[in-house]
Amino acid sequence: MISLTMENDKKQITFVVNPISGTQEKEQIVGLINDYVDKDKYTSEVVYTEYAGHAQKIASECAKKRHFAVVAVGGDGTVNEIARSLTHTHTALGIIPCGSGNGLARHLQIGLTPKKALEVINEGYIERIDYGTINRRKFFCTCGVGFDAFVSLKFAEAGKRGLTTYIEQSLNATLNYKPETYQVTIDGNETESYEAFLIACGNAAQYGNNAYIAPKATLTDGLLDVTVLNPFTPLDVPSLALQLFTKTIDQNSHIKTFRCKTLKIRRENPGVVHYDGDPVKMGVNLEVKIHHAGLQVIVPADDSKNFTVFDRAQEVINGIRQMNDHIFEGIRQRNNELLAQSKKRLKELTKL
């Protein structure tokens, strides 16, 4: 542990650093914490995680001591670990986003630089948000079955992080992934059958990286925003990708959306699901629930969250640019692979 301030009459805040998440240099971030944390308001310490699940244990201990906040310095996995230990406690979650997706931080409009995130923490404004569970595993952004869960598994197996890797895995999987049939029961009512490419349940609006799978989702309404993507053709991929990054995917003709408090899903075979991007194997029966106002989070004050029309237009433009860059990079990589295969095949033919 690195003690940064020692006064005991101030609010206690613990920064939990995942040293292997993301690409940012953590020692630099710790230096910024030391420089920028409000020492008139907080007594603070930094703790480095040493193994998977360590962040959850640290956060649980802080909650038992009724600390003011535990700040996740890492990616979505670190945020999830800490947040699930803080539900229904007096201790708030803070975020200094350092991951590849940063879904919850983006939804909450927390600055993606350490300095901006520390400004939010120094303000100390707290809001209660909802969280979800899928077969009792807690999530704070999204969970899902189908294609997005399959890609999450491939992404985890790839050994490299970042949006480029995610896009690459998505493009590869799109060619071979087949829709599945799901029996879906909404809030205990009649069961409907869907042949779907994916079923995504959103507490927050996005997966991360400004990819909005449930663009109208809010964190405080006590409802899940469910997106069902019906089967589509390869010709539909560009428009779906564009709408995913411009908050308009719910307008696509292949999409069905609805809101609910509980969702039961029965699928034909056991397989992978994801919660906040982490893949895990589960059985054929899945139950997704929303839990209202179960987590305190340090968020920007209301006046700092009022975007102008220009801000929102720029956000859309950035989303389009980001989507185009990575799609074209994926196409370039695929063309290079095909060219290499063609050259190899040509050499084999010339030897005959």
2-124 is classed CATH 3.40.640.10: no
Strands (DSSP E) contained in the chain are 2-3, 11-17, 42-48, 69-74, 92-97, 126-134, 137-139, 142-146, 180-186, 191-196, 198-202, 224-229, 255-260, 262-267, 271-275, 278-282, 285-298
% residues pLDDT > 90 (the chain): 62
Contact by Cβ (8 Å): 118, 36: yes
Distance between terminal CA atoms of the chain? 67
pTM (two decimals): 0.81
The model's pLDDT over 132-167, given as tens digits with 9 standing for 90+, comes to 999 999 999 999 999 888 777 665 555 555 555 455
- CATH 2.60.200.40 domain locations along the chain: 137-291
| Confidence band, pLDDT 50/70/90 cuts, at residue 178 | confident
The per-residue pLDDT for 352 is 57
The model's pLDDT over 72-100, given as tens digits with 9 standing for 90+, comes to 999 899 999 999 999 999 999 999 999 87
- CATH 3.40.50.10330 domain locations along the chain: 2-124
137-291 is classed CATH 2.60.200.40: yes
The per-residue pLDDT for 150 is 79
The per-residue pLDDT for 151 is 75
Contact by Cβ (8 Å): 254, 230: yes
**Which 3-state string (H, E, C) describes 202-239?**
ECCCECCCCCECCCCCCCCCCCEEEEEECCCCHHHHHH
Nearest to 255 by CA among 209, 203, 194: 194
Mean pLDDT computed over 318-339: 55
Mean pLDDT computed over 4-8: 51
The model's pLDDT over 302-328, given as tens digits with 9 standing for 90+, comes to 755 544 444 444 445 555 555 555 555
